[in-house]
Amino acid sequence: MKVVVFLALLVAAVSARDVLSTLAKGVGHDPQWPSFVSFALQYGRKYPSVTEAAQRFQIFKTNEARNVELRKLNPFATFGVNKFADISQDEFRRTHMGLNMTTKPKNMPKFWKHKHDIPPVKRNAQGVPNDVDWFAAGMCTAVKDQGQCGSCWAFSATETIESAIAIKQGGNPPTLAPEEIVDCDTNDGGCNGGDPRSGMNFVAQEGGLDTENSYPYTAGQTGSGGQCAFQQSSVGGDDSGASDVSDGDENALQSFLQSSGPPSVCVDASSWQSYTGGVMTSCGCSIDHAVQATGITSQFGQPAYAVRNSWNTNWGVNGFIYLAIGQNTCCVANEVSWANGAAP
């Protein structure tokens, strides 16, 4: 059996190299070709055809050209080749963020309105805040990976409930199941998007959130949710619903971070795909992604929000991105919420 598996992997690897070798005959002179080949081999890309590989190479080049512009706009941040380098912006938005761009999920009026060009409130922060790190303090679970599912909203809700429980009991956050929210919350759209506040409200109505061990995450591999399999006997945490922390006021976000915990935040992540480090200073305000703000840091020489993403630790800075404080970068303060009454 082991020999069969080894041979299958060997054939796949050879096939992938054959596709690239064939394509190289036509585009091997391109100065970006060596970088693309290195990327494909590093991340184990197995393109099924020369046509597919050629399309991915063009996307790779488009993304690299975009990185040049992003570096100009964000001189304190870095952008480059990462695991998303051959994915188009539209494809990435569909598979790694959290809103359906054509169909509004139910029960998400505020989160949705900013995607439709209604100017958001922007009130910048006053003064320089003190550093705080809820992640290092042990009040957050490990960085997660939503995979190819627009379930960021469910992860943001889950992480906020986990942290609220940890703060209430002095540490040791439970690892809970975003898959339950994806599968069972009929007010939102599963892998097609939703609102983290709606997800927190769902947990309160459902009677709790199962543990990750009892309800493992599978939507990231399939791109869609499954049959609801919630079990009351496997609940690892609960809450009494969501509350708004900030609707555009950075001072409110900072105050909450420094005194209360790491809340759910909704952001414009359209420029995050190729982020590799440093502090973002220029970003849009078309909110399309939900994450968790875990602290404030001055390690980069300027105050920045530490934001925990759900694209695994091999993206960004060990799964984190840093957003400049004082200009509501990526509209990080526009949709901030917390899980009330969280309990194990």
Q: Which residues are catalytic?
A: 152, 289, 309
CA angle, 208 then 200 then 173, to 5°: 65
Measured distance CA(60)–CA(47) in Å, rounded: 14
307 DSSP β-pair partners: 293, 321
Task: Provide the 3-class DSSP secondary structure of residue 44.
Answer: coil
Dump the DSSP string for 102-117: SSPPSS-HHHHHGGGT
338 DSSP β-pair partners: 243
Measured distance CA(112)–CA(104) in Å, rounded: 7
Measured distance CA(64)–CA(60) in Å, rounded: 6
Q: Residue 317 is which amino acid?
A: V
CB of 97 closer than 8 Å to CB of 271? no
Which candidate, 166, 175, 160, places its Cα nearest to that of 214? Answer: 175
Which candidate, 110, 131, 341, places its Cα nearest to that of 254? Answer: 131
